[in-house]
Structure 1
Amino acid sequence: MKNVSLADVDHVDRAVLPIGTDYPPGHVLDWHEHRRAQFLYGATGVMVVDTAEGTWTVPPERAVLIPAATRHRVRMLGVSTRSLYIEPDVIPWWPVSCTVVDVPPLLRELLLVAVEFEIDYSLSGREGSIAALLLHEIAEHAPLPFHVGIPAAADLARLCREYLAAPDAGVTNAEWAARAAMSERAFTRRFRSEVGDSPAVWRGRARLLAAVPLLRTASVSEVGGRLGYASPAAFTAAFTRAFGMPPSRFVASRQGGGPSRSRNS
């Protein structure tokens, strides 16, 4: 099924509904939730998924597992998605919060095949076997650390979401504390109790997450400079330390425009 609304097919008696959707650049799916769990795979582009608890940046050719009935918002940056909407009772192992995962070649090919199914695809034979195999493959997912938590307190959450929208290496703890009408020490203690990291550590990770969509259209050197790093080497080291892979993995190739998959890049 391609470019159809889940609301129009949610009633169909299939545990797994595969839907492929093409989005215009910069499209935002505003706050919503699904009765079913969602496996949201970006075949192209970068997705940014927000919930009340955090923000997940989904690099090209990765996916995010969204639990059933989770209110969320998705920003699409040049994205063509392949989604699976899954009845919650068939996946008791599904994570309780959003999780970014890698998508190995077999899973990717299964997704591309599944979105060509008719709405009432046969449960026996090839199509039913592919649907069942998709769930087995997803169950083997390896979580990737492309997220930051958002504090529950409204004033702290506002500071964090504003920073995510416009990361600035020059922002200090003192500035944030002043905006919260607190001493710097009290503010830092309160922030750490909410999210588990100091404000400075949180901002550093948020800046690195912001690099992922920027790398679609700019070089490692350009992105590192834009985010306030002293050199490309410093940016690369920080990015690799945070995410386990260098930023060059996400630079669009000159030939095809897709992300680099080379282990040596």
Structure 2
Amino acid sequence: MDAYATAPDGTPIAYQVRGQGPGTPLVLLAGQANNHHWWDGVRDDFHVDRTTVTLDYRGTGDSGKPDVPYSTGGFAEDVVAVLDALGVEQAHVYGTSMGGRVAQQVAARFPGRVGALVLGCTSPGGPRSVERSADVRRALVQRGDAGRDALVDLMYTPAWVAAHPGPYHTLGDPGMPAYARYRHLVAGHRHDAWDLLPRITAPTLVVHGSDDLLNPAANAELLADRIPGAQLRLIPLARHAYFEEFRETAGPLVREFLREHDSSC
């Protein structure tokens, strides 16, 4: 099912529902400046257990694209608007990269709406987080094929790229207006959930690739230490898109964690 929810400010938010599993529904949140296709490579893995819900962030995909400031807190309100439109009182939430930042906001600000929480390749943001290196920042600002190749290298290992030449769904929504891409960048940069993290009551699993340079793995330890009772799992050799390249490890890990918390939701 593809449909629209209405955000608090009136922006239409496109969402997509797939699968019919009996478990608690799972909201999947994509990375910065990406639409729901971010999850195309692994989404079906969850349908043995549950229905999945994705959305196109404002500024991406089929959602509205207002030229106003965006924030991870605002994206969280959009997620809740989707749950309201579906009549879902509580769902599990799995966010990766900037989606993990949005998931932090949802879990801290709307605790009753989150059954279990998975935070992948993400960061608490703010001055206490661990920033990517200057070399990575320089690589990312390159234009054209050089910039794309740098991003692919941060997402996947060379061996995986050689065996999987693409297309890749984790490199950004090509249909985004330039202003929306910039507003996503600012939203991610301004995220700081340090003071919110202790308020998270949902059972939480933090997952990260050990070789992630786009979002250094030290941030996973910060999150796990800051969120009460959180579990931490590092996937050896994995880069930023661990959930896709290392799906045979990450998928069962996340699925088992969610199953453990279905009965409490």
TM-score (norm 1): 0.30
The structure with the largest alpha-carbon Rg is 1
Q: Say which structure, 1 or 2, has more relative contact order (CA 8 Å, 6+ apart).
A: 2
TM-score (norm 2): 0.30
